[in-house]
Amino acid sequence: MAKLPTPQELIATRPPFPEEHWLDVRPEFAPGSFCYPAKKETMELLHMPNPHEWDPAAEDWGLPENWERILCDAFAERLEKHRSLKLFMDICVRCGACADKCHFFLGTNDPKNMPVLRAELLRSLYRRDHTVLGKLLGRTVGARGWDKSVVKELFHYAYQCTECRRCSLFCPYGIDTAEITMIVRELLHEVGLGTHWIMDPVKNCSFTGNHLGIQPHSFVEIVEMLADDCETVTGIRPKTPFNKKNAEILFITPSGDVFADPGIYTFMGYLLLFHELDLDYTLSTYASEGGNFGSFTSFNMAKKLNAKMYAEAERLNVKWILGGECGHMWRVINQYMDTYNGPAPDNMTLPVSPVTGTAFTNAASTKMVHITEFTADLIYNGKLRLDPGHNDHIITTFHDSCNPARGMGLLDEPRYVLKAVCNNFVEMPENTIRERTFCCGAGSGLNTEEIMELRMRAGMPRGNALRHVQRQFGVNHMACICAIDRATLPPLANYWAPGVTVSGLHELVANALVMTGGKKRTMDLRQEDLPGAEEDGADGREGGE
């Protein structure tokens, strides 16, 4: 990986707009500006169309012979399938309100990263084939035909959009660039163009049940190890139920939480919480992925990967599904799952918390509840014994992930939980949180190493907001409810606000959780010593019973 510029240099060296008209400018594929291409075997295994070896830096991308026909037809088909696409192609007035709402634009100052122009890349093609004026007047009215360099341009900018929807919040017509990016990516996959970082997890998830390709026995082993770690910290070894039939609840979370630091601590948090509640639940090695990289590929791939959730809920005969902390997973569950793969199997019922009796009527049809809804309800009803003092060494802020924020509206549940388990909570500036939150800069399958500088650029607005609260209020921690965030925010924090650590919400919940029969906590879930725990700890047990 090339050496990164300093944050100051990064901001200062954003290039001015090019002199030429944007129609005459083509992107350069320098190393670091693109994600590595998907492997041919991967695409073949997934039965993706026109699989081939290609290199984004090469002149020739090896497109199939009739690539233009394929793309034109695929585009026309998408127009017939999605009213949103027709509408978003027609009604943009180019008012520019979206321009500086995009983190990629703010970080790169590349005009084509203004959401309006990102959409114009496709809109110009739409004009030529689908509008009267475009057919008659061509380039005068901003129409252009397909050529291979246009395909490259679409690829370049469809993978510099994280589908975060921030622009759509500010658009007077609700034009959603995420929708356009998703469809452009679909089109590119029709001619065999995809990225390794997305398609490899898709392949893994298709054949092993999770993105990381963890096979069932290894999955069990890892979770058992995490349970051992829980015991080291709390003195209690939580239950680890797998593939258990007739459990009340099936718990599904992104596999990143089982595998990667710091997600594993969030996973330990889940295990401890469920154990303390004596919850009748099960994990599944088959539906061992909450995330859905298929949603970064095509609607059908998203549907395919998502199908396992209901299938497993049916096989295991559970009543409802509880979902872990993840961003795009929840966009899919909230806005797509029931449509894709519903209705929920007959054995499932309206989710009711077995601890508080609260019925989650807002999930009456999908029968899937977000863990922060579940936990907030527990706390509200006084069902958890919490000692937020265990988190006193951190001053935390909260990062709203794009998808729960703008594709679901899950804003106050995590804050409710966070405030209950942490004494020191500070919000970032108001233009960077809640529905106006900024992306971590690497969502939607862009969290790959080879574009690290681009990620840091796209993460600039978030990074600056974090730095602001770090300097002003001594913030040293950022909580989030997204597995991709847990992977992408640590390098972002390290770059923009060194010294800030990142964790999932349920890591902090478990840190504060007073376990029945547990030992006195002297360390947190990361097995780091709790400040002050040494001096006043005497009897060594807490929680009684």
Partner 1 sequence: MFVSLLLVLLIGAIAWAGSAAGFASLFGVALPYLAAAVFVVGMIRRMVYWAKSPVPFRIPTTGGQEQSLDFIRQAKIDCPGTQAGVFARMFLEVCLFRSLFRNTEADARAGLPANSGPGSVYYSSKWLWCFALLFHYCFLLVFLRHFRFFAEPTPQWVTWLETLDGLMQIGAPRFFMTGGILLAALLFLLGRRVFNGRLRCISLVNDYFPLWLLLGIVCTGICLRYFDKTEIAMVKIFIMGVTQFSPVSAEGIAPLFFVHVALVSTLLLYFPFSKLTHMAGVFFSPTRNAANDSRRVRHINPWNPPKQYFTYAEYEDAYRDVMAEAGLPLEKEPDRPAG
d(CA 292, CA 306): 7
- Write out the binding residues for partner 1, residues 246-275 only, by CB under 8 A: none
Element (H, E) at 320: strand 320-323
Contact letters (x/-) for partner 1, 33-62, by CB under 8 A? ------------------------------
Q: Which is nearer to partner 1, 341 or 447 (CB)?
A: 341
d(CA 461, CA 12): 14
Question: Does 90 participate in binding partner 1 (rule CB under 8 A)?
Answer: yes
Binding range to partner 1, per CB under 8 A, among 64-72, 152-160, 194-202, 296-304: 296-304
- Write out the binding residues for partner 1, residues 514-543 only, by CB under 8 A: none
Question: Does 117 participate in binding partner 1 (rule CB under 8 A)?
Answer: yes
Which pairs from 361-366 meet CB under 8 Å and 24+ separation?
Answer: 363/320, 365/338, 366/333, 366/334, 366/337, 366/338, 366/342
Q: Residues near 60 by Cβ (< 8 Å), separated by ≥ 6?
A: none
Write down the least CB distance from residue 485 to partner 1, Å.
18
Say if residue 384 is exposed, middle or buried (CB neighbours under 10 Å; 0-12, 13-18, 19+).
buried
Write down the least CB distance from residue 35 to partner 1, Å.
24
Reduce the secondary structure of 144-203 to three states and give it as a string.
Answer: CCCCHHHHHHHHHHHCCCCCCCHHHHHCCCCCCHHHHHHHHHHHHHHCCCCEHHHHHHHH
Angle, CA of 331, 337 and 343, to the nearest 5°:
150
Question: Does 3 participate in binding partner 1 (rule CB under 8 A)?
Answer: no
Write down the least CB distance from residue 386 to partner 1, Å.
17
88 vs 93, 102, 148, 336, CA distance in Å? Answer: 10, 17, 24, 20
- Write out the binding residues for partner 1, residues 299-358 only, by CB under 8 A: 299-300, 303-305, 307-308, 311-312, 315, 333-336, 338-343, 358
Write down the least CB distance from residue 521 to partner 1, Å.
29
Letter for the amino acid at 178?
Answer: A
Question: Does 97 participate in binding partner 1 (rule CB under 8 A)?
Answer: yes
Question: Does 120 participate in binding partner 1 (rule CB under 8 A)?
Answer: yes
Write down the least CB distance from residue 94 to partner 1, Å.
5
Q: Which is nearer to partner 1, 211 or 304 (CB)?
A: 304
Q: Residues near 477 by Cβ (< 8 Å), separated by ≥ 6?
A: 394, 395, 396, 397, 500, 501, 502, 503
Binder of partner 1 out of 377, 400, 507, 524 (CB under 8 A): 377
For 65-140, where are the alpha helices, taking DSSP H only? 67-81, 83-90, 103-108, 115-130, 132-137
Beta-bridge partners for 425: 396
Say if residue 313 is exposed, middle or buried (CB neighbours under 10 Å; 0-12, 13-18, 19+).
buried
Q: Which is nearer to partner 1, 36 or 242 (CB)?
A: 242
Q: Which is nearer to partner 1, 285 or 447 (CB)?
A: 285
Write down the least CB distance from residue 385 to partner 1, Å.
19
Binder of partner 1 out of 236, 264, 329, 363 (CB under 8 A): 363
Contact letters (x/-) for partner 1, 226-245, by CB under 8 A? ----------------xxxx
- Write out the binding residues for partner 1, residues 168-207 only, by CB under 8 A: 168-176, 179, 206-207
Please work out the total of residues on this chain that contact partner 1, with binding judged by CB under 8 A.
Answer: 124
Letter for the amino acid at 350?
Answer: L
Residue 527 has φ and ψ, to the nearest 5°, of 60, 35
Write down the least CB distance from residue 474 to partner 1, Å.
13
Q: Which is nearer to partner 1, 112 or 519 (CB)?
A: 112
Binder of partner 1 out of 45, 54, 131, 494 (CB under 8 A): 131
- Write out the binding residues for partner 1, residues 210-229 only, by CB under 8 A: 215-217, 220-221
220: number of Cβ within 10 Å: 16
Dihedral angle over CA of 394, 6, 153, 63, nearest 10: -90
Q: Which is nearer to partner 1, 351 or 445 (CB)?
A: 351
Angle, CA of 460, 497 and 17, to the nearest 5°:
20
Dihedral angle over CA of 442, 444, 447, 453, nearest 10: -40
Element (H, E) at 282: strand 281-282
Q: Which is nearer to partner 1, 41 or 224 (CB)?
A: 224
Binder of partner 1 out of 361, 536, 540, 545 (CB under 8 A): 361
Letter for the amino acid at 395?
Answer: I
Q: Check: CB of residue 152 under 8 Å from CB of residue 29.
A: yes
Q: Which is nearer to partner 1, 175 or 481 (CB)?
A: 175
Sign, CA torsion 369/502/157/198:
negative
Write down the least CB distance from residue 342 to partner 1, Å.
5
Contact letters (x/-) for partner 1, 414-453, by CB under 8 A? --x------------x-xx-xxx-----------------
* Strands, E assignment, 408-509: 477-480, 501-504
Produce one character per residue of 167-202: b if its CB has 16 or more CB atoms within 10 Å, e if not: bbbbbeeebbbbbbbbbbbbbbbbbbbbbbbbbbbb
Q: Which is nearer to partner 1, 422 or 460 (CB)?
A: 460
Write down the least CB distance from residue 256 to partner 1, Å.
20
- Write out the binding residues for partner 1, residues 389-418 only, by CB under 8 A: 405-413, 416
Question: Does 376 participate in binding partner 1 (rule CB under 8 A)?
Answer: yes
Write down the least CB distance from residue 287 to partner 1, Å.
9
- Write out the binding residues for partner 1, residues 465-524 only, by CB under 8 A: 465, 467-468, 471-472, 496
Write down the least CB distance from residue 60 to partner 1, Å.
30
The pairing of beta strand 249-252 with beta strand 281-282 = parallel
Question: Does 26 participate in binding partner 1 (rule CB under 8 A)?
Answer: no
Q: Which is nearer to partner 1, 467 or 521 (CB)?
A: 467
